[in-house]
């Protein structure tokens, strides 16, 4: 990719991590020198101080929820119960998930920065995801074996004996729209607008406690360290060994970082994000909050790029199949629908703003659903939306769409 402001932030962070303070006091110089470890591995008193089990749990819950949206033997009530899991309820095949007091729904549109003072949008977004489940269960499952046509729910098989896709009357494959939308409203929102927020990292006495190495009660980490780890967990929480992530191990952000990394136009993004997480965590240990915040900004911008790139990618590739293979085209458009939905949870580095507002996102989705929805959408519309999305970022439609 071309040199961007993120490249500048990386260089700034490297400078901060490599050189000590200009202060002549040797002790201050040592304190201000931040050196990242080779892997995301941190210890206190010979015990790992890294913990993000709650994020791993929610990713596992979301994976089972994604599978449920493809099972027409289930109903709205049972899928809703998985989404809004209550401790002890037998909603999952994994007993540890059933025993958990966590749920995916409770963290949807729940970030401190974007939704603590915006309950109206938070409630609306949760309701929209409830609506996806209801529509899949009530408008698609009953017509599972029908042949889909414009205005009629059912199934279509991809050309050449490919996958069978199940869609609503407007062509939306709700399970993929839901999953990719959840990437934004759960994983990205919690990572960028909650755990990497200074309002969360510096909440209460967190900075004073971190300065004095005061750990959380009964834990080997400070509260600030833990908040940073929880952000890390929404990307790497499904990895068997997060000190050596392999990517593509869940259906969410981890998967699509792998997809973007695999593109020659964006190769290196995975290392940039991982290195920023390492250096930011090391900066917390070193009490260097300027370096911490620089790394948070790098993560915010690069993770936001993943959402923008994949939104454009799916709008572009869908055009190759619109005429002759609607099953494939509608599947790609459904993936794109979810990523467009996720744009409102992105974060411009150094600001308190997403790349796209909820009203802008709603307008795009409404336009895609005009008339018979995907059955009527045109390449001209997809290209215009793609170009408008790309223009907000620092990549081109051609780069993202290839």
CA dist list (Å): 390 to 139, 152, 263, 381, 393: 34, 33, 16, 14, 5
| Tens digit of each residue's pLDDT (9 = 90 or more) over 114-153 | 999 999 999 999 999 999 999 999 999 999 999 999 999 9
* Residue 246: alpha-carbon gap to chain centroid: 17
Q: What is the pLDDT of residue 27?
A: 35
Q: How far apart are CA 79 and CA 74, in angstroms?
A: 7
DSSP class of residue 156 equals E
Task: Indicate if the pLDDT at residue 22 is higher than 80.
Answer: no
pTM over 0.95: no
**Element at 47 (helix H, strand E):** strand 47-48
| Tens digit of each residue's pLDDT (9 = 90 or more) over 196-242 | 999 999 999 999 999 999 999 999 999 999 999 999 999 999 999 99
Q: How far apart are CA 368 and CA 340, in angstroms?
A: 11
Q: How far apart are CA 12 and CA 15, in angstroms?
A: 5
Give the closest residue to 140 by CA, choosing from 84, 70, 68, 63.
70
Kindly report the backbone phi and psi dihedral angles of residue 96, in degrees, each rounded to the nearest multiple of 5, phi listed first. Answer: -65, -30
Q: How far apart are CA 355 and CA 358, in angstroms?
A: 10
Written as one string, the DSSP assignment of 252-319 is SHHHHHHHHHTSTTTTTHHHHHHHHHHHHHHHHHTT-HHHHHHHHHHHHHHHHHHHHHHHHHHHHHHT
Helices of type H across 169-250: 174-182, 189-190, 198-201, 206-211, 223-236
- Break the chain into its structural domains and give their ranges: 112-402
**Element at 380 (helix H, strand E):** helix 379-392
Q: What is the pLDDT of residue 32?
A: 52
Kindly report the backbone phi and psi dihedral angles of residue 6, in degrees, each rounded to the nearest multiple of 5, phi listed first. Answer: -70, -40
| Tens digit of each residue's pLDDT (9 = 90 or more) over 42-68 | 999 999 999 999 999 999 999 999 999
Q: How far apart are CA 234 and CA 190, in angstroms?
A: 8
| Tens digit of each residue's pLDDT (9 = 90 or more) over 357-376 | 999 999 999 999 999 999 99
Label each residue of 197-220 as H, E or C: CHHHHCCCCHHHHHHCCCCCCCCC
Show Cβ contacts of residue 396 under 8 Å, excluding neighbours closer than 6 positions: 390
């Amino acid at each position: 990719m071309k040199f961007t402001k993120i490249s500048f932030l990386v260089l700034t962070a490297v400078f901060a991590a490599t050189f000590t303070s200009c202060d002549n006091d040797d002790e201050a110089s040592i304190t201000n020198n931040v050196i990242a470890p080779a892997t995301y591995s941190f210890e206190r008193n010979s015990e790992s101080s890294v913990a993000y089990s709650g994020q791993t749990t929610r990713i596992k819950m979301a994976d089972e929820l994604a599978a449920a949206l493809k099972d027409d033997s289930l109903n709205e009530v049972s899928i809703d119960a998985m989404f809004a899991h209550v401790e002890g309820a037998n909603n999952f095949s994994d007993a540890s998930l059933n025993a958990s007091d966590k749920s995916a729904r409770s963290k949807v549109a729940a970030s401190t920065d974007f939704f603590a003072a915006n309950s109206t949008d938070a409630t609306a977004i949760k309701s929209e995801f409830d609506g996806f489940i209801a529509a899949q269960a009530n408008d698609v499952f009953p017509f599972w074996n029908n042949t889909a046509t414009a205005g009629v729910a059912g199934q279509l098989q991809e050309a050449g004996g490919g996958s069978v896709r199940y869609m609503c009357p407007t062509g939306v494959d709700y399970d993929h729209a839901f999953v990719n939308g959840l990437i934004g409203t759960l994983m990205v929102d919690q990572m960028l607008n909650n755990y990497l927020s200074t309002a969360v990292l510096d909440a209460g006495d967190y900075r004073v406690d971190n300065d004095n190495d005061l750990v959380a009660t009964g834990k080997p980490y400070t509260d600030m360290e833990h908040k940073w780890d929880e952000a890390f967990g929404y990307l790497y929480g499904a990895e068997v060994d997060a000190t050596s992530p392999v990517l593509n191990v869940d259906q969410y952000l981890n998967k699509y970082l792998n997809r973007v990394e695999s593109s020659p136009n964006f190769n290196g993004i995975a290392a940039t994000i991982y290195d920023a997480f390492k250096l930011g965590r090391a900066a917390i240990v070193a009490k260097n909050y300027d370096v911490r915040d620089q790394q948070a900004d790098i993560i915010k911008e690069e993770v936001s790029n993943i959402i923008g790139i994949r939104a454009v990618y799916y709008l572009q590739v869908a055009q190759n199949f619109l005429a002759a293979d609607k099953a494939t085209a509608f599947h790609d458009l459904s993936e794109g629908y979810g990523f467009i939905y996720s744009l409102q949870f992105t974060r411009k580095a150094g600001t308190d703003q997403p790349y796209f507002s909820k009203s802008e996102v709603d307008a795009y989705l409404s336009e895609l659903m005009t008339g018979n929805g995907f059955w009527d959408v045109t390449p001209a519309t997809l290209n215009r939306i793609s170009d408008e999305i790309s223009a907000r970022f620092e990549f081109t439609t051609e780069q993202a769409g290839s």
